[in-house]
Amino acid sequence: MCGRYSLTITKAALQARFPGALGDPPHEPRYNIAPSQSAPILAAPKGERRWAAMQWGFSMTDGGRLINARAETLTQRPMFRGLLDRFRALVPADGFYEWPKTASAGARPRPVRIVRRDRAPFAFAALWRQAEENSSGEFVILTTRPNALVGPFHDRMPVVLSPEREDEWLDRDRPFAALSAALFEPWDPCEWEAYAVSDAVNRSGRDDPACIDPAPPDGRRTLK
């Protein structure tokens, strides 16, 4: 799954990575984006890429929030069927967090940040919708099976689109049923790395560089 992510680059770098989109990216460097928070996405509601700020997670009738959706079962979920052709989006990121399983009973797992080895930004595949509860819109991040790097931490990982597949995902003239299955394949783990980070990221209210700082090599727990 994906429960936290980062987008630490500047607005100028974001525009350079995703050129040609209409509007002004609603962005400043973010180190710990959490569910229910607003974040920049790229959608194509009228066939042209456009920046928007939307809230992470679909609000549910029970008061909860759905933040992820399995790519393999999207067509089986009634709540997604009307979104698959016209409401696809890109969610820019440059890292995401997982909390590894721990063998010590009662011990809190140390969070890890998963990034590209070249530290380049990338895009999650997502769906968006308008909602009465949130006039700006809401989005969910799609997930797939993990690659060999993420697998030891979790049995799901976000769908990260390769740059050449981003246009395909946003193409409103290409029905969901016609999209390549390769869109949802996990990336080669050799292009990624994971490193332990400070416990600062455990607090959803924290959003500063301490969240991406590597943890001390001696294994001490830190909370800056």
Per DSSP, the three-state class of 11 is: helix
Per DSSP, the three-state class of 74 is: helix
Cβ burial of 198 (10 Å; 0-12, 13-18, 19+) is: buried
Residue 2 annotated as catalytic: yes
Among 163, 139, 144, smallest CA distance to 155 is for: 144
Residue 98 annotated as catalytic: yes
Rounded CA gap, 122 and 120, in Å?
7
User: Considering 48, 98, 164, 211, which one is annotated as catalytic?
Assistant: 98
Would you put residue 164 in left (φ > 0), alpha (ψ -120 to 50) or beta?
alpha
Cβ burial of 89 (10 Å; 0-12, 13-18, 19+) is: buried
Name the residue type at position 48.
E
| Catalytic residue IDs | 2, 98
